[in-house]
Amino acid sequence: MLIEEVKIGCTLAMLQCLDRPHRLAYILGEILDLPGGEAAEALDVDPSVLRKRLERARSAILAFTRSYCGLVSDDAACRCNRRVTAAVRLGRARPDALEFADRAVSFEEVRTAVRRAGEARRALEVHRTSRPRESSVELARRIVTAIDPDRG
Q: Kindly state whether residue 22 falls inside one of the protein's structural domains.
A: yes
Q: Kindly state whether residue 76 falls inside one of the protein's structural domains.
A: yes
**pLDDT band with cut points at 50, 70 and 90 for residue 110:** confident
Q: Kindly state whether residue 152 falls inside one of the protein's structural domains.
A: no
Give the whole-number percent of the chain exceeding pLDDT 70.
81
Q: How far apart are CA 42 and CA 18, in angstroms?
A: 19
The three-class DSSP label of residue 95 is coil
How many domains does one find in the chain?
1
Per-residue pLDDT at 36: 86
Q: How far apart are CA 148 and CA 152, in angstroms?
A: 7
- Give pTM, 2 decimals: 0.69
Q: Tens digit of pLDDT for each residue in 121-146? A: 666 666 666 655 555 555 666 677 77
Per-residue pLDDT at 127: 66
Q: Which residue has the higher pLDDT, 80 or 130?
A: 80
Q: Tens digit of pLDDT for each residue in 41-64? A: 888 899 999 999 999 999 999 899
Least confident piece of the model among 8-12, 31-35, 136-140: 136-140
Q: How far apart are CA 73 and CA 66, in angstroms?
A: 5
Residue-averaged pLDDT of the chain: 82
For residue 8, give its domain range.
2-147
Q: How far apart are CA 18 and CA 36, in angstroms?
A: 19
Per-residue pLDDT at 95: 84
Q: Kindly state whether residue 85 falls inside one of the protein's structural domains.
A: yes
Per-residue pLDDT at 46: 95
Q: Which residue has the higher pLDDT, 124 or 30?
A: 30
